[in-house]
């Protein structure tokens, strides 16, 4: 089969990163790029030797010269771009978060079902070497029945682009919940074996952002803008099989700055923990706890390269992506439920039928 011809919608940091990885792939090529600010698209086209700069997104999506589209635009644009691309018969690799909310995510899933093309959400943490080792342990039966998990992604002083679209709920969809929390949630569900969520209880906080504290280096601040999202959130998610997941995420918090990422899954035969580049397998023998360190394998596999390779393989073969549209919808349903629970103080029930 000829190389997959891919266009990139979005010439910011993430769009340019995707260009680089596709450029290095032997079975794909970037043939077009679009950005609302044409100058940014032209600069990326020059840097990555992209032959065509599209000045209008509809022109890109309708082009017969394009097989697939990578959508790496700001969150607010995801739903319109994804639906337009899918409706035009394109395969879509969609950056996280899938959308601003679960309603938009459901609309994207419906568009994919009608189109019959590939829809994949770009969750690169699924492709980390230690993640794959934990998945191998689970599939080999070394963890057994998983009954509890914990996922946390902490930032202590990292509010991005204060006052810009990052901190405006109408444009971003939320704060750390939708920014990094969606990664933590997705990875935890993947390591657990993708159980079906049925209820959510959560709380959100904004203790730093409203007073312009806890500012990080990511993004460009707009001090004339505003902050109307959370800067920390915590939640418990109950599954159909009775298992539970606790989630904690923050952009800003007075906690140990060494606590950046932590994932734990607990089963009746063993457990696994992931701390950035450190992984552990835990089990018991003769009433003693045994801890085995999981070492990074020296195979040179780059998680983002593996992500791109998987997307291209799905496009070529028609196989289902491991991070498909329904997994993205599930994540958005939970994030919405956390926000609703935080407002009402009540447990929010989810409808599992929406995920089938």
pLDDT in tens, 142-193: 999 999 999 999 999 999 999 999 999 999 999 999 999 999 999 999 999 9
Q: What's the distance, CA 356 to chain centroid? A: 20
pLDDT of residue 356: 82
pLDDT of residue 259: 82
What are the extents of the domains in the chain?
Answer: 4-124, 126-303+332-355
Q: Average pLDDT for residues 228-241, to the nearest whole number? A: 98
pLDDT of residue 299: 73
pLDDT of residue 10: 97
Domain 4-124 has CATH 3.40.190.10: no
Q: Residue 219: pLDDT above 70?
A: yes
Which SS3 state, helix, strand or coil, does residue 215 take?
A: strand
**pTM (global) more than 0.85:** yes
The tokens 């707009």 sit on which residue? 222
pLDDT of residue 346: 98
Residue pair 163/66 in contact (Cβ under 8 Å)? The answer is no
CA distance 29 to 32: 9
The beta strand positions in the chain, using DSSP E, are 4-9, 28-34, 52-54, 68-71, 91-95, 119-122, 146-153, 197-205, 232-239, 244-250, 261-267, 271-275, 278-285, 288-294, 348-349
pLDDT classification of 301: cutoffs 50, 70, 90: confident
- Given this chain, do its domains 4-124 and 126-303+332-355 carry the same CATH topology? no
Query: And the tokens for 197?
Result: 């969520």
Q: Average pLDDT for residues 336-352, to the nearest whole number? A: 97
Report the percent of the chain where pLDDT is more than 70. Answer: 99
Q: Residue 1: pLDDT above 70?
A: no
Residue pair 94/120 in contact (Cβ under 8 Å)? The answer is yes
Q: Residue 283: pLDDT above 90?
A: yes
Q: Residue 80: pLDDT above 80?
A: yes
> Average per-residue pLDDT in the chain?
96
CA distance 104 to 100: 7
pLDDT classification of 298: cutoffs 50, 70, 90: confident
Homologous superfamily (CATH) for 126-303+332-355: Dihydrodipicolinate Reductase; domain 2 (3.30.360.10)
Strands 68-71 and 119-122: unpaired
pLDDT of residue 178: 96
């Amino acid at each position: 089969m000829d190389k997959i011809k891919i266009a990139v919608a979005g010439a910011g940091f993430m769009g340019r990163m995707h260009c680089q990885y596709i450029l290095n792939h032997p079975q794909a090529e970037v043939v077009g790029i679009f950005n609302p600010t044409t100058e940014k698209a032209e600069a990326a086209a020059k840097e990555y030797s992209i032959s065509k700069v599209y000045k209008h997104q509809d022109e890109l999506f309708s082009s017969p010269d394009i097989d697939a589209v990578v959508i790496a635009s700001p969150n607010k644009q995801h739903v319109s771009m994804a639906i337009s691309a899918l409706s035009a018969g394109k395969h879509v690799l969609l950056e996280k978060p899938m959308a601003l909310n679960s309603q938009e995510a459901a609309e994207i899933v419906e568009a994919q079902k009608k189109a019959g093309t590939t829809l994949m959400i770009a969750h690169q943490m699924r492709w980390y070497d230690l993640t794959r080792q934990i998945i191998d342990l689970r599939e080999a039966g070394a963890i057994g029945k998983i009954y509890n998990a914990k996922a946390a992604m902490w930032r202590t002083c990292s509010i991005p682009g204060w006052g810009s679209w990052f901190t405006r709920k109408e444009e971003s969809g939320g704060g750390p919940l939708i920014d990094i929390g969606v990664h933590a949630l997705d990875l935890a569900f993947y390591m657990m074996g993708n159980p079906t969520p049925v209820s959510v209880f959560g709380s959100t906080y904004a203790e730093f952002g409203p007073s312009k504290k806890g500012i990080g280096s990511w993004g460009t601040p707009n001090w004339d803008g505003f902050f109307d999202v959370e800067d920390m959130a915590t939640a418990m998610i109950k599954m159909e099989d009775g298992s539970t997941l606790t989630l904690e995420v923050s952009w800003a918090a007075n906690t140990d700055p060494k606590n950046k990422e932590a994932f734990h899954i607990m089963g009746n035969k063993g457990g696994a923990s992931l701390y950035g580049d450190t992984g552990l397998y835990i089990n018991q023998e003769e009433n003693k706890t045994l801890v085995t360190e999981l070492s990074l394998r020296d195979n040179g596999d780059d998680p983002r390269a593996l992500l791109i390779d998987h997307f291209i393989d799905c496009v070529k073969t028609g196989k289902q992506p491991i991070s498909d549209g329904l997994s993205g919808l599930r994540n958005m349903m939970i994030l919405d439920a956390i926000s609703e629970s935080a407002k009402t103080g009540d447990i929010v029930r989810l409808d599992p039928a929406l995920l089938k």
